[in-house]
């Protein structure tokens, strides 16, 4: 092993790492500290003598209570979960079949099709919501969960397809050929051999799709308008900022509760998720 | 148990004509090896027999059935792949049982067959492991085991030993041969290694550029190569080739070039007579070159200079130069020569090969 000077390790490793960790985690800390700070401290002048912006001595759960009782936050949470799960399910199903076909089947224009599916993912939602709004109105889906469940796959399916296609390509095709010789049909080989091996890839596609739809803002803002129909990201921002009044405590409590499920999903699958990204299967 | 019949088989990809008019009759219980350099169409041919590649034109039958349009699962074949293709998420037992499960065999029968195969291959204690916990040789055995539990009509092997190290390869080669004798099932084996081809095959099919060059028993290919390619491909070190002119003096034909002058053996005179005054390729195997003894016929001896000496223990390879010809001789380990020394070599007149310069066919 090469012996390096200690200061080099500090300059190139520990100090940048510390800066990065603080920069990443500070917003979460700020979110937490704000959500448990009593109103009296929250709206105190920054220059007040007893101002303690980075900690509080009187933690309170008042904001969480208010959020649950006085707003429709629990309903937003349920809306978001419901919409995210169903649109993820639809997108994974389509992405699996499309990704497999693009990775394995030989048909005319397969390459072009693969690329054009990816290109649709690059169209920004801020442009796409205009034609989509027209469609939603024509089908009279506005202000229903289906407005989002059916529009989220427009970016989730290309995403899942592309990710899974890449994963399927890393699986040696001999595995499947062997299964087909062993007595399986093409579909049987796909379901019995390829899908079980691709579980890490499928899980990472699912997690990504879930978080993308959980955090989605623009479509949710445009297609839903009654307070009890909204999702967490839109509800928190539109219902807890009234005019120029910011309900900081409840806002942060809502943001915290909104990000907890995502954090749980991530940490639960983190091992699969990591192998899914680096994904490699040896025969 | 079945014969395999390939009739006018062709495979064309967009621009590449990979397999050209292949006709082959593989007899029941025969072990046939397809051999050739990479890109010669041997693997494509095998995959067409398996049903993994579509046939452009021609006909394949296994047993009495024409299988052109049958999916792989209905052809009653088993295949062993170069990378083993073990299912990584299943145990060794499940890997071997998969084909039987798909065919809805009763459980006790599956168990019996897997146990039997494991016994034969000596992988009994590995049945509960996952493929990633096995060494290369063990994976190879499991892959073979998965093929034999099915009792298929035909075994297909696609370079199954290429991923093993040299020592293990020799060992598995012997085991495969023993296994074939025991199971007596038709087998088609693809390899690029001519030693594997010669040792395993009842008959060997040499392919190049999509064409079959020659089909024959191993020794037949060695002693009577049909053309220059087969002559050079079979045998190690490869046959020596020299361009010579056929001349006539005193009623006898001679093959000569600067540094080499050899009388055409009596039996070959008639066939070479039309080539008088023309160039042909003379081929002689390294093992048919010996240091000349004092009584050797002068018509078949020539002087040469040693350039490299490769002592291999059981034999010595001499790289020599005779005029413009660079030749390799495989001589007895008792021969004592040093680099730059002169040595007089004799060649075996019965073992000379002549090839047409243009179409490379044997004369």
pLDDT at A264: 80
- C-beta atoms surrounding B332 within 10 Å: 10
Instruction: Give CB contacts under 8 A, 24+ apart, made by A57-60.
Output: A60/A36
| Residue of higher predicted confidence among B80 and A114 | B80
Which residues in chain A touch residue B146, judged by CB atoms under 8 angstroms apart? 178, 182
Which residues does A contribute to its contact with B (CB < 8 Å)? 172, 174-175, 177-185, 188, 193, 196-197, 281-283
In this complex, is the C-beta atom of B86 within 8 Å of any C-beta atom belonging to chain A?
yes
Assess whether pLDDT exceeds 50 at residue A283.
Answer: no
Enumerate the β-bridge partners of residue B281.
B243, B355
**How distant, in Å, are the alpha carbons of A10, A18, A173, A217 from that of A25?**
21, 11, 43, 23
Mention every residue, 6+ apart, whose C-beta is less than 8 A from residue B49.
B4, B6, B60, B62, B77, B154, B156, B188
The band of B224, judged by pLDDT with boundaries at 50, 70 and 90, is very high
Mean pLDDT of B288-313: 89
Q: Which residues of A touch B132 (CB under 8 A)?
A: 282
Taking the CA of residue A190 and the nearest CA in chain B, the distance in Å comes to 12
Cα angle B321, B326, B327; round to 5: 90
Tell me if chain A has a CB within 8 Å of the CB of B89.
yes
B5 near B31, Cβ under 8 Å?
A: no
Spatial separation of the C-alpha atoms in residues A252 and A240, rounded to whole Å: 10
Is A180 close to B103, i.e. CB distance below 8 A?
no
Gap between the terminal Cα atoms of chain B: 39
Q: Name the strand (E) or helix (H) holding A178.
A: helix A173-182
Predicted TM-score (pTM) of this structure: 0.82
For residues B223 and A109, what is the distance between their CA atoms, to the nearest angstrom?
A: 51
pLDDT of residue B336: 87
- Mean pLDDT in residue range B77-103: 92
DSSP state, residue B125: G
**pLDDT tens-digit profile of A68-109?**
988 889 999 999 999 999 999 999 999 999 999 999 888 888
Alpha carbon A176 to chain centroid, angstroms:
32
Residues 146-175 of B with CB under 8 A from A: 146, 150
Find the largest Cα–Cα distance for chain B.
Answer: 81
Q: How many CA atoms lie within 13 A of B237 on its CB side?
A: 21
**Across chain B, what does the average pLDDT equal?**
91
Token digits of residue B70: 């049958």
Average pLDDT, chain A: 87
B345 exposure class (CB count in 10 Å sphere: 0-12, 13-18, 19+): buried
- The Cβ of residue B104 has, within 10 Å, a number of other Cβ atoms equal to 8
The alpha carbon of residue B148 is apart from the nearest alpha carbon of chain A, in Å, by 11
On chain A, the residues whose CB falls within 8 A of the CB of B72 are 177, 180-181
CB contact under 8 A, A181 and B98: no
Pick the residue from chain B with its C-alpha nearest to A196. B89
Q: Identify the residue among A105, A179, A182, A279 best suited for mutation to test binding to B, counting B beta carbons within 10 A and taking the highest.
A: A182
**End-to-end CA, chain A:** 33
Q: How far apart are CA A81 and CA A87, in angstroms?
A: 10
- What token pair was written down for B30? 């025969």
B317 and B328 in contact (C-beta within 8 Å)? yes
Give A172→chain B minimum CA distance, Å: 8
Q: Do A182 and B73 touch (CB under 8 A)?
A: yes
Residues A206-222 have a mean pLDDT of 91
Query: Which residues on chain B are in Cβ contact (under 8 Å) with A174?
Result: 81-83, 85
Q: What's the CA gap between A225 and A222, in Å, rounded? A: 7
Token output for B244: 């010579």
pLDDT digits over A184-195, tens only?
999 999 999 999
- Give the highest mean pLDDT range of A241-255, B178-192, B251-265: B178-192
Q: Contact at 8 Å (CB) between B266 and B305?
A: no
Contact A185 B150 (CB under 8 A): no
Our CA-based measurement puts residue B241 at a distance from the nearest CA of chain A, in whole angstroms, of: 40
Q: What is the pLDDT of residue B259?
A: 85
Helix, strand, coil percentages for chain A (3-state, nearest 5):
75, 0, 25
Cβ-defined contact of B72 to A177 (cutoff 8 Å): yes
* Start-end of H helices in chain B: 42-50, 92-102, 107-121, 136-148, 166-183, 194-200, 218-223, 228-233, 269-272
| Contact flag B102-A196 (C-beta cutoff 8 Å) | no
Contact in structure between B194 and B29 (CB atoms under 8 Å): no
What is the ipTM, given to two decimal places? Answer: 0.84
Nearest CA in chain B to A173: B85
Instruction: Choose the closest CB to B85 out of A174, A183, A188.
Output: A174
Q: How many alpha carbons fall within 13 Å on the CB side of residue B174? A: 5
Phi, psi of B86 (to 5 degrees): -75, 145
Concatenated DSSP letters for B47-108? HHHHTSS--SEEEEEETTEE-TT--GGGS-EEEE-TT----TTS-HHHHHHHHHHHTT--HH
Nearest CA in chain B to A185: B73
Q: Judge whether residue B28 has pLDDT over 70.
A: yes
Check residue B293 and give its pLDDT. Answer: 84
pLDDT of residue B297: 81
- Predicted local distance difference test score (pLDDT) of residue B127: 92
Q: In terms of residues, how long is chain A?
A: 283
A157 vs A107 pLDDT, higher one: A157
Helix (H, G, I), strand (E, B) or coil at B138: helix
Quick one: which of A189, A38, A64 has its CA closest to B72? A189
Q: Which residues of B touch A170 (CB under 8 A)?
A: none
Q: Strand, helix or coil at B292? A: coil
Cα separation, B74 vs B286, whole angstroms: 48
A273: pLDDT confidence band, cut at 50, 70 and 90? low
Interchain pair B87, A197: CB under 8 A: yes
Residue B70 in this model has a pLDDT that exceeds 60: yes
Query: How close A98 comes to chain B (CA, Å)?
Result: 21
Residues in chain A closer than 8 A to B51 (CB atoms): 180-181
Name residues 42-61 of chain B within 8 A of A (Cβ). 50-52
More confident residue, A86 or A127: A86
Structure token pair of residue A9: 């390790």
Question: What is the band of A180 on the pLDDT scale with cuts at 50, 70, 90?
Answer: very high
Provide the pLDDT for residue A282: 44
């Amino acid at each position: 092993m090469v012996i390096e000077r200690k200061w080099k390790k500090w300059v190139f490793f520990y100090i940048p790492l510390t800066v990065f960790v603080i920069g990443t985690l500070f917003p979460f800390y700020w979110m937490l500290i704000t959500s448990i700070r009593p109103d009296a401290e929250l709206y105190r002048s920054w220059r007040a003598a007893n101002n303690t912006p980075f900690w509080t001595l009187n933690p309170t759960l008042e904001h969480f209570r208010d959020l649950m009782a006085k707003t429709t936050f629990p309903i937003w949470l349920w809306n978001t979960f419901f919409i995210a799960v169903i649109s993820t399910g639809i997108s994974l199903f389509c992405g699996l079949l499309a990704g497999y076909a693009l990775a394995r089947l030989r048909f005319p224009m397969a390459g072009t099709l693969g690329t054009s599916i990816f290109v649709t993912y690059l169209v920004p939602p801020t442009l796409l919501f205009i034609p989509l709004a027209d469609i939603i109105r024509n089908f009279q889906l506005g202000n229903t969960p289906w407005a989002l469940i059916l529009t989220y796959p427009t970016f989730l399916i290309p995403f899942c397809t592309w990710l899974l296609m890449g994963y399927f390509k890393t699986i040696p095709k001999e595995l499947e050929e062997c299964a087909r010789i062993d007595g399986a049909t093409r579909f049987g080989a796909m379901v019995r051999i390829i899908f079980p091996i691709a579980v890490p890839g499928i899980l990472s596609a699912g997690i990504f799709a879930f978080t993308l739809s959980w955090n989605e803002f623009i479509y949710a803002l445009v297609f839903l308008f009654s307070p009890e129909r909204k999702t967490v990201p839109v509800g928190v921002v539109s219902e807890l900022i009234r005019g120029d009044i910011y309900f900081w405590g409840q806002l942060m409590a809502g943001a915290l509760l909104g990000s907890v499920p995502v954090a749980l999903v991530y940490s639960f699958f983190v091992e699969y998720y990591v192998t899914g990204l680096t994904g490699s299967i040896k025969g | 148990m079945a014969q395999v019949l390939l009739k006018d088989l062709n495979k064309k990809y967009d621009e590449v004509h990979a397999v050209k008019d292949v006709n082959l009759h593989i007899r029941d219980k025969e072990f046939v090896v397809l051999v050739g350099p990479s890109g010669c169409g041997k693997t494509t041919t095998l995959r067409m027999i398996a049903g993994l590649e579509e046939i452009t034109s021609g006909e394949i039958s296994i047993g009495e059935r024409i299988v052109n349009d049958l999916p792989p699962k209905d052809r009653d074949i088993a295949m062993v792949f170069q990378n083993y293709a073990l299912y990584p998420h299943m145990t060794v037992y499940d890997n071997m049982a998969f084909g039987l499960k798909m065919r809805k065999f009763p459980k006790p029968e599956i168990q019996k067959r897997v146990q039997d195969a494991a016994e034969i291959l000596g992988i009994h204690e590995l049945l509960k492991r996952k493929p990633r916990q096995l060494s290369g040789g063990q994976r190879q055995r499991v892959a073979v085991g998965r093929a034999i539990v099915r009792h298929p009509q035909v075994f297909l092997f696609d370079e199954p030993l290429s991923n093993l190290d040299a020592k293990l390869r020799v060992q598995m080669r012997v085991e495969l041969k023993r296994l074939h004798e025991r199971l007596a099932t038709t087998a088609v084996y693809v390899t690029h290694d001519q030693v594997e081809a010669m040792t395993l095959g009842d008959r060997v099919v040499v392919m190049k550029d999509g064409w079959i060059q020659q089909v024959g028993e191993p020794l037949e290919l060695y002693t009577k190569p049909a053309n220059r390619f087969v002559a050079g491909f079979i045998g190690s070190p490869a046959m020596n080739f020299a361009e010579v002119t056929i001349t006539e003096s005193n009623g006898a034909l001679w093959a000569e070039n600067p540094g080499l002058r050899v009388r055409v053996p009596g039996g070959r005179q008639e066939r070479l007579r039309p080539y008088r005054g023309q160039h042909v390729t003379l081929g002689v195997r390294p093992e048919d070159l010996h240091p000349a003894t004092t009584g050797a016929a002068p018509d078949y001896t020539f002087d040469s200079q040693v350039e490299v000496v490769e002592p291999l223990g059981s034999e010595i390879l001499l790289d020599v130069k005779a005029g413009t010809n660079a030749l390799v001789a495989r001589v007895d380990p008792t021969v004592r020569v040093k680099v730059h020394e002169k040595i007089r070599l004799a060649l075996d007149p019965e073992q000379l090969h002549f090839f047409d310069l243009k179409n490379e066919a044997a004369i």
